[in-house]
Amino acid sequence: MDCETQKDAELEAPSIIDRYYTRWYRTDLKGQLCEDHCILQHSNRLCVVTLAETHPVLQNGRTIKSIDYQISNGCSRLNNKVSGKSKRGGQFLTDFAPLCRITFIFYCFCNLKAAFSCIRGRLLEVNENILERPNLLLEKPSTEGYIAVILPKFEESKSVTENLLSRKEFEIVVSKRDQPQAS
């Protein structure tokens, strides 16, 4: 199959994400340039936390060394247990709650970055598949390489995205970064 037809097929490609989820973005987390996250909000109000394509971890030349859900001495996101329909017991997160620590190699240098919640809500699960296969985070950051699933409070389902950027707003922020600074 030639290049043209392949591109057409991809354009026509119905994306599960676009059909059921709305993309929201949080940029420059904790003042760190380009550490952007993408929150996929399902129509049923569940949110999937992922790294945005602009995040330093996902750029060319990186390999993931390890992912650690132990964010402090007393807290591991792996210990999160929810039970029942109302998801009792899940750790309640605020906007800047760390989810995991990502250790990656770039040009022989070891780097550490953290992924954050970005929204308020109850932690339902963290992605254990990326513990076993850390490169999944690089290969499929928007799907199989997701970080966590968070359930916002029912009353806050709409307001939870007020601090986030839409896809269009995100693209504007990104394009401003590429422009040279006026001197």
Partner 1 sequence: MRSSGRATAAAQTFVFSQIAETVKAQNYEFDSLVLSISLPAQLCVREHSCWLHVKKEVREKGLALDKDDVIQVKEAFKWIMQSLVAKELGGGVAVVSKSVFTRMAVVKALEKISDDKFLKQYPCPPARPASSCVPQDVQCLHVSVFIAGRYNKFCRSLPQTPWLIDGERRMESSVEELIAAPVLTAFRADGFNFSSSGREDVDVRTLGNGRPFAMELQNPHKSRLSKLQMKELQETINKSSDKIRVRDLQIVTREAMGRMKEGEEEKTKSYTALVWTLKPIQKEDISFIDDIKDLTLDQKTPLRVLHRRALAVRQRVIHTMNARYVDAHHFYLALKTQAGTYIKEFVHGDFGRTKPNLCELLKTDTDILELDVESVDVDWPPAIPE
**How far apart (Å, rounded) are the C-alpha atoms in residues 122 and 147?**
14
Site for partner 1 in 86-115 (CB under 8 A): 87
Our CA angle for 103, 104, 106, nearest 5°, is: 150
Smallest separation (angstroms) from partner 1 to the CB of 158? 12
7 is a site residue for partner 1 (CB under 8 A): no
Beta-carbon contacts of residue 97 (< 8 Å; ≥ 6 apart) = 116, 117
Span from 5-13, 26-34, 56-64, 94-102 in contact with partner 1 (CB under 8 A): 5-13
Tell me which residue of 132, 118, 141, 124 sits closest to 56, measured CA to CA: 141
159 binds partner 1 (CB under 8 A): no
**b/e per residue, 40-50, with b = 16+ CB within 10 A?**
bbeeeebbbbb
How near is the Cβ of 25 to partner 1 at its closest, in Å? 19
151 binds partner 1 (CB under 8 A): yes
Residues 6+ positions from 35 with CB-CB distance below 8 Å: 28, 29, 55, 56, 113
Contacts of partner 1 in 10-49 (CB under 8 A): 10, 13-16, 20, 42, 44-46, 48
Shortest Cβ 39–partner 1 spacing (Å): 13
Binding site for partner 1 (CB under 8 A): 1, 6, 9-10, 13-16, 20, 42, 44-46, 48, 82-85, 87, 124-125, 127, 129, 136, 140, 143-144, 146, 149, 151
